[in-house]
Each structure stands twice: as C-alpha cells, then as structure tokens.
C-alpha cells in the first residue's frame, strides 16, 4: 500500500461503512486448496457500499494488493480522518460510482486483516497456525471470494477490478469463473512474475526468516520479528516507487543535518523515509502473512495454468470485456507485461481496451489520484453497463 492511499479527488465519501465477515468451509466440508491441502473453517472479512439492485446486476468486486484490506472507501467511525485505501476512486460521483454500483471488497485468504490466515487460531491445536497454515494460491483466494459472492446471492458480477496482486485475482476470476464476470479491469499487473519480481520477494522473505524472533513462524505470544518485517517492507516499498519519484521526493538530501556524520544512522532523507515505512508496517501487518501472500504471487502463472501451453490457451475460457491499464514508470510490472496480456486476449477475439498512463510515481500509480485512470474506469463501466443492458 502507498503513502498516498486514501487521498481524495472530488466526489463525496460513502461515509460510514461497517466491517462484515462471512464464515464458510466448516468441517466436514473444507475448502480444497490447489496444493492438495484442505482448510476450514474460513472467515472472510469484507465491506460493501452502495445499493444492490433488485436483480443483483450492478455488483463490482474490488480486489486489493498485497498488504491491503477490505476497507476500500469511507470511514469506520465518525471521528476517523483516514478513509479507505481507494477513497479517491470509490464513492458517490467518483470513478466507481456508488450511486450506481454495489461495491464489494474482501480481505484475501492468508492475510491478517480479518480473514483467516497464519495468525488465525488453528482449531486443531487452539493456537495460531503459524507455518502450519497451508500455502495458498491466487486461485485459492478467488475460490474463497466466489464463496462470498455466492453467499451474497450474486450470480454474475458486473466487474472485477484490482491492481498489482489484485490484478492477478482479476485475471484469475476471468478464467476460473468466466460465466460470472461481465467485465475485468486489471491494473498494473502481470500474468506471471518475472525473475526480478521473484528475487525481490525472496530477499524480503529471507529478511523475515533471518530475524531470530521469527522462531520458524511460531512467534505469536512472543516478541515478533519486527526488524525482519520492517526490512522486508523497505525492500518492497522501493519496488513500488520509481527513480523519478525518488529523485523528486528525496534526491540526495540529508535528514535534519547539513553534513555527513560518518556513522550508520539514517542520514539521507530516503533512508529515514524507508525506516519510517518499515516501522509503520510492523504495527499493522503480520510477518507470516507477508510470506504467504508473496509466495502466492510468485506461484501465479497464466502461461502454464492447469496444463495450458500458453496464455492464449488459458484465456480461451474468458468471456469478459477487458480494460487493461499499465503505467509508464512501473518497473515492477512493466508495460510490456500488460501488452502480453492484451495480445493473449485479442488472439481469442475478446473485447479488449488498453491504456498505458504516463505517470512518474512507479508501481503505486494506481493508488494515487489520477484523473486519467478515473475517467478510463468510469467510461468503461458506463459502456459495459450500456452494452449488457444493466
């Protein structure tokens, strides 16, 4: 998540929203995972805003990135000053207009923001799962979301929308449940991680596992691996930015001093900033969840999904209309990866729109107020609604 998340850009707020939860996969009917393991019961944290039409045709599922949560817009309490993470995009009169659409956002499987994950209590032991929690995939996350959508009585989603790992979930929805998705909007994402992306994730995971307080994942009730998790976040945060953004924001400026101190304190502003981001992250996120979610992202591969020989073959199942968006300065998931998605979709004769947005803020660009992105999403949803007669 970005430091910019929650900044507004016109329109009204959805106001107060209530956290909700749905529990399913109760024994003897657990969720069967792609790894071959089973998991249950599972609780999903979710939030909704807007009003569901009588025919339940106006539902949009928003899918968050790695460290996100279900709190996509609005406020939990009247006195709160920080809204949901996509406040600028979701709300009355905004890009995703809650006067027209019923918005659902659920926390992903394996997270620590209200949904069952490695920090949850294992009913077999009455202790937190830790590394006894089974490895989950993007597909498993989508299966859990499908259970929630079934619970809400929605047969077909007007759209699924998400950026980064959320964009992976969008693509998975489009090929796993093609008959249930009218439109798909993957933002700043990829069909599979590059070696570079996997490498950064592995360095971050090793930072956590090298922390002596990690205790092979069983640190609950003890000192948490704060140093390792903070370093992991610092590594990840660099990949979300860009050279241009960092030059503009920090350059080589020193923090609260005029000359070098010739020691290893945080002297440069960028050093201080990264340490601050790491410290903030430790306060709100679980180290094991970080391990599980990054591994799920690394495993994601639409080129070889279910025995497919290519992404073109994988996307043969898709039926949705697509809007694919990339950003010029995103070096984590560069535009060429979005173009690969577009080519595979077009080879299947699908309705595909594509836009590369000029932005100098890196991978986090989809979280930062951007009039072009707002207009694209709003116009695309208008078209889908009109063309589908809903």
Show which residues are catalytic: 164, 330, 363
Q: Using DSSP, state whether 103 is helix, strand or coil.
A: strand
Cβ count near 18 (within 10 Å): 9
Tokens of 356: 């590369």
Assign residue 37 a region (left: φ > 0; alpha: ψ between -120 and 50; beta: otherwise).
beta
**Residue 325 phi, psi dihedral angles, 5° rounding:** -130, 135
133 neighbors 288 (Cβ within 8 angstroms) = yes
Tokens of 281: 């992250």
Report d(CA 361, CA 186) in Å as an integer: 18
Report d(CA 296, CA 299) in Å as an integer: 5
Provide the residue count of the chain.
Answer: 390
Report d(CA 140, CA 301) in Å as an integer: 14
Question: Can you tell me which residue has the tokens 């979710």?
Answer: 46
376 neighbors 355 (Cβ within 8 angstroms) = yes
Indicate the DSSP class of residue 157. Answer: B
242 neighbors 360 (Cβ within 8 angstroms) = yes
Tokens of 4: 């910019």
Classify residue 179 as exposed, middle or buried by CB count within 10 Å of its CB (0-12, 13-18, 19+): exposed
Report d(CA 305, CA 303) in Å as an integer: 6
Report d(CA 325, CA 323) in Å as an integer: 7
């Amino acid at each position: 998540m970005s430091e910019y998340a929650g900044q507004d850009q016109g329109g009204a707020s959805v106001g107060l929203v209530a956290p909700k939860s749905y529990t399913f996969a109760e024994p003897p009917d657990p969720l069967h995972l792609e790894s071959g393991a089973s998991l249950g019961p599972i609780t999903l944290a979710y939030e909704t805003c807007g009003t569901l039409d009588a025919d339940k045709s106006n539902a949009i599922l928003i899918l968050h990135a790695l460290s996100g949560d279900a709190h996509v817009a609005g406020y939990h309490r009247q006195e709160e000053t920080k809204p949901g993470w996509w406040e600028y995009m979701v709300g009355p009169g905004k890009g995703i207009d809650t006067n027209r659409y019923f918005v659902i956002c659920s926390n992903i499987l394996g997270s620590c923001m209200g949904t069952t994950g490695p920090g949850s209590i294992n009913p077999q032991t009455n202790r937190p799962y830790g590394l006894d929690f089974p490895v989950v995939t993007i597909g498993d996350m989508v299966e859990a979301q499908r259970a929630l959508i079934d619970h809400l009585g929605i047969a077909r989603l007007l759209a699924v929308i998400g950026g980064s790992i959320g964009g992976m979930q969008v693509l998975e929805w489009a090929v796993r449940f093609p008959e249930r998705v009218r439109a798909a909007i993957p933002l700043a994402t990829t069909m599979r991680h590059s070696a570079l992306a996997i490498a950064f994730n592995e360095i971050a995971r090793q930072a956590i596992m090298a922390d002596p307080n990690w205790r092979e994942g069983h640190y609950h009730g003890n000192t948490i691996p704060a140093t390792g998790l903070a370093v992991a976040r610092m590594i990840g945060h660099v990949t979300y930015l860009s050279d241009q953004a960092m030059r503009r924001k920090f350059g080589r400026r020193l923090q609260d001093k005029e000359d070098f101190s010739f020691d290893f304190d945080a002297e440069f502003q960028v050093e201080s900033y990264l340490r601050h981001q790491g410290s903030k992250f430790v306060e709100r996120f679980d180290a094991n969840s970080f391990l599980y979610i990054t591994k799920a992202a690394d495993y994601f591969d639409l080129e070889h999904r279910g025995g497919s020989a290519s992404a073109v073959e994988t996307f043969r199942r898709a039926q949705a209309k697509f809007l694919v968006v990339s950003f010029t300065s995103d070096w984590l998931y560069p535009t060429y990866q979005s173009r690969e998605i577009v080519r595979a979709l077009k080879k299947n004769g699908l309705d595909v729109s594509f836009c590369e947005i000029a932005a100098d803020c890196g991978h986090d660009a989809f979280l930062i107020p951007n009039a072009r992105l707002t207009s694209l999403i709003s116009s695309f949803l208008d078209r889908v609604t009109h063309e589908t007669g809903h």
